[in-house]
Amino acid sequence: MGFRDQIERRRTFGIISHPDAGKTTLTEKLLLFGGAIQEAGAVKNNKIKKTATSDFMEIERQRGISVATSVLAFIYRNKKINILDTPGHKDFAEDTFRTLTAVDSVIVVVDVAKGVEEQTVKLVEVCRMRNIPMIVFINKLDREGKDAFDLLDELEQKLGLSVTPLSFPIGMGYDFKGIYNIYEKNINLFSGDSKKNIEDTIAFDDIENPELETIIGEVAAQNLRDNLELVHGVYSEFDKDSYLKGQQQPVFFGSALNNFGVRELLDCFIEIAPSPRAKMAEERLVQPDEKELSGFVFKIHANMDPKHRDRLAFVKIVSGTFERNKPYLHVRLGKKLKFSSPNAFFAEKKEIVDISYPGDIVGLHDTGNFKIGDTLTEGEKLNYKGIPSFSPEHFRYINNADPMKSKQLSKGIDQLMDEGVAQLFTLEMNGRKVIGTVGALQFEVIQYRLEHEYGAKCSYENFPVFKACWVDPQDEKNEEYNEFKRVKQKFLAKDKQGQLVFLADSQFSLQMTQQKYPSVILHFTSEFK
């Protein structure tokens, strides 16, 4: 198969949802379709259960599992599907944001009863900002839930989407009979009352055909006709181009648990979802079919085994092919590196691979060369943008609890920050180090890993910060900027890249500062230039 065909057949995407909406179940059903796993339950362990929030042994165990499930690949109807796993747990939201820089599209799972939830809002916002094509899957139709039109409204209102249903439920919960597939123009019916299997798929392109009554009964037939009329009246026709530009989002209904509506979703997905797309580097736009390799690190995973300190850096290939044992330029370090055992991912396994194509993810063993956002090329100095840091939610001073191990501690902190576990800020005033995380859970993870992987001990001290804002002085010589730096000295720090950060201790002080120094712009993400 030629290089271009290899690119065209790849679909690299992420599934995002609020925890418990059914992401894991849907992933598993997709893998079953691809024949990549044989039984249900195989992917189940992949999530960090709510009950494990303070049990870091459990986190460690799960971290190990999630290396294997970070990328789940399978072949379906000759398409190479790469699913990038995104942690559902909100304490790991930053991981998810970063993974979204490596996907070409996403599927958003929404629970029919709960509708749009908090995590969904945040994740979809990131996708919208990047114009990532999205398909919505409304799940758990086997249960009583919200009215389909109310849900479609909610998607538009709360997520700012512009939706168009490509399937429509026939009844719901107790009365759920099946689904009319608007995209394929057919009806899928459940078998009997069990709601476990699709009994029949009946081609049905004319909804006015009186046959409908015989198939689903009079009341359901009338309802379906009315609903579809409303759908056609209210929502614009599906337009692939608008979907690809992130301007329209098709919606499917189904039940992942019962494998209902999943095949329809997958079939439509492989047809409409984009193959690997061009990506903007700081220097220029890079096309996937360029001959020379380029790719970037979007995730780093520490080894489970504390005796082996090596890590796995996940590289998304943007252009060219990645070949084993070929030297590539690590742009930030300016040095060439060769990889003798790059990993590719297949189902829940990883294996050494000789060649990978755009859209694929390779896992590279790393002893500390990589950090998130690093770029590999064949010699060109390219830097991929778009892996910003967001303001952490929790902040604490980190202290050395074992003075004999200060070297180990700083190395450990350094490497954990490169992995993106948390953010490090160094106070301008006294050089003290402050760790910022998205969730309280990370503090325990860091403490545990410093001790077990680096032999260092740390303790924490509270540091009340409301938000970290990246400072953009506009003009460094400006009087106002200098006054800001003098007056706010106590609250200023440098992040790991050396960018100046203002640590506001309350919403009020943030507002006051903004009012007092209007020419100093405060940004809530690190990437504003």
Contacts with ligand G4P by CB under 6 A: the residue count is 19
Q: In this structure, what token pair is assigned to residue 154?
A: 């909610």
Closest C-alpha among 243, 358, 247 to residue 4:
358
DSSP 168-197: EEES-GGG--EEEETTTTEEEEE-TTT--S
Q: Which two tokens stand for residue 73?
A: 């690949």
Point out which span in 23-31, 95-103, 325-333, 471-479 binds ligand G4P (CB under 6 A): 23-31
Choose one: 198-206, 210-218, 251-259, 399-407; the region binding ligand G4P (CB under 6 A).
251-259
H/E segment holding residue 396: strand 394-400
Single residue of 20, 55, 428, 527 touching ligand G4P by CB under 6 A: 20
- Closest CB to ligand G4P among 91 and 419? 91
Cα 256 to chain centroid distance, Å, stands at: 20
Name the minimum Å distance from CB 252 to ligand G4P: 12
Show the tokens assigned to 373: 């956002």
Q: State yes or no: residue 281 binds ligand G4P (CB under 6 A).
A: no
Span interacting with ligand G4P, options 250-258, 297-305, 323-331, 389-397, rule CB under 6 A: 250-258
**Counting contacts by CB under 6 A, is residue 119 touching ligand G4P?**
no
Residue 257 beta carbon to ligand G4P: minimum distance, rounded to whole angstroms: 3
Contacts 24+ apart (CB under 8 A), 272-275: 272/135, 272/240, 272/243, 272/244, 273/11, 273/13, 273/104, 273/105, 273/133, 273/135, 274/11, 274/104, 274/105, 274/133, 274/244, 275/7, 275/8, 275/9, 275/10, 275/11, 275/104, 275/359
Our finding on whether 88 is near ligand G4P (CB under 6 A) is yes
Give the whole-angstrom CA distance, residue 522 versus residue 517.
10
Q: How many helices (H) and strands (E) does the chain have?
A: 14, 31
Distances (CA, A) of 322 to 34, 297, 302: 25, 13, 22
Q: Dump the DSSP string for 349-377.
A: EEEE-SEE-TT-EEEEEESS---TT-EEE
Which of 114-122, 254-262, 496-504, 510-518 is the region at the interface with ligand G4P (rule: CB under 6 A)? 254-262
Q: How far is the CB of 29 from ligand G4P (least distance, A)?
A: 9
Question: What CA–CA distance (Å, rounded) separates 529 from 526?
Answer: 9
Q: How far apart are CA 321 and CA 319, in angstroms?
A: 7
b/e code 55-93 from CB counts within 10 Å (16+ = b)? ebeebbebbebbbbbbbbbbebeebbbbbbbbbbbbbbb
Please say which residue, 22 or 358, places its beta carbon nearer to ligand G4P: 22
Among 6, 12, 24, 275, binds ligand G4P (CB under 6 A): 24
CB nearer ligand G4P, residue 12 or residue 259: 259
Asked if 195 interacts with ligand G4P (CB under 6 A), we say no
Nearer of residues 109 and 492 to ligand G4P, judged by Cβ: 109
Question: Can you give the three-state secondary structure of 21-86, one letter per residue?
Answer: CCHHHHHHHHHHHCCCCCCCCCCHHHCCCHHHCCCHHHHHHHHHHHHHCCEEEEEECCEEEEEECC
Among 61, 143, 326, 332, interactor with ligand G4P by CB under 6 A: 143
Q: Closest CB to ligand G4P among 47 and 485?
A: 47
Residues 420, 309: Cα–Cα separation, whole Å: 16
Is residue 387 within 8 A of residue 98, CB to CB? The reply is yes
In angstroms, give the least distance from the CB of 279 to ligand G4P.
28
Name which position in 14, 22, 165, 392 contacts ligand G4P (CB under 6 A). Answer: 22
Task: For the segment 28-87, give every residue that binds ligand G4P (CB under 6 A).
Answer: 44, 47
Q: Is 23 in the site for ligand G4P (CB under 6 A)?
A: yes
Range 122-141, binding ligand G4P (CB under 6 A): 139-140
The CB-of-401 to ligand G4P minimum distance in angstroms stands at 36
Q: Contact region for ligand G4P (CB under 6 A) — 22-30, 56-64, 117-125, 171-179?
A: 22-30
Secondary structure letter of residue 306 according to DSSP: T
Specify the residue, 254 or 288, whose C-beta has the smaller distance to ligand G4P: 254
Least Å from the CB of residue 39 to ligand G4P: 14
Taking CB under 6 A as the criterion, the residue among 84, 152, 256, 353 binding ligand G4P is 256
Binding to ligand G4P by residue 19, rule CB under 6 A? yes
The minimum distance between CB 141 and ligand G4P, in angstroms, equals 7
Binder of ligand G4P out of 257, 293, 331, 445 (CB under 6 A):
257
- Six-digit token pair at 139? 């799940």
Nearest residue (CB) to ligand G4P, 172 versus 212: 172
Report if residue 326 touches ligand G4P, rule: CB under 6 A.
no
188 near ligand G4P, judged by CB under 6 A: no
**Closest CB to ligand G4P among residues 144, 305:** 144
Task: Give 26 or 152: the residue with its C-beta nearer to ligand G4P.
Answer: 26
Query: How many C-alpha atoms does 278 have within 13 Å on its Cβ side?
Result: 7
Phi, psi of 202 (to 5 degrees): -115, 120
Q: Which residues bind ligand G4P (CB under 6 A)?
A: 17, 19-25, 44, 47, 88, 139-140, 142-143, 255-258
